[in-house]
Amino acid sequence: MPNILFAAYKVPHPLFADFELRVQTDGNLTPKDAVIRACREIVSDLGTLSREFSKEWELKKITIRGDDMDGFNGNGYM
């Protein structure tokens, strides 16, 4: 994101579910808005990844079924 100058996080202690987040922007966007935008982009990217993975998984299953129809059991042996 071009408006972000610096971003970092720190976990003070691994046994506590706390973290510290620091975000510095160029002033065109507040740090809070930058984090919200980044979260939305991550959710969108994860949705794309999920759709693409599901599509490839289904294509792989079709390919395996097609191999079975040719007389193979999926291991390359008849």
CATH for 52: 3.30.1360.10
> How confident is residue 62, by pLDDT bands cut at 50, 70 and 90?
confident
The pLDDT assigned to 34 comes to 96
On whether residue 27 sits in a domain, the answer given is yes
The separation between CA 50 and the C-alpha centre of its own chain, rounded to angstroms, equals: 8
The pLDDT assigned to 64 comes to 85
Contacts of residue 38, defined as CB under 8 A and 6 or more positions apart, other chains included, come to 1
The pLDDT assigned to 36 comes to 96
d(CA 51, CA 45): 10
On whether residue 36 sits in a domain, the answer given is yes
Exposed/middle/buried for 7, CB within 10 Å: 0-12, 13-18, 19+? middle
Tokens of 62: 């079709």
d(CA 77, CA 65): 14
On whether residue 74 sits in a domain, the answer given is no
Neighbours of 56 (CB within 10 A): 10
The pLDDT assigned to 2 comes to 87
Is residue 76's pLDDT more than 60? no
On whether residue 38 sits in a domain, the answer given is yes
Average pLDDT over residues 34-43: 96
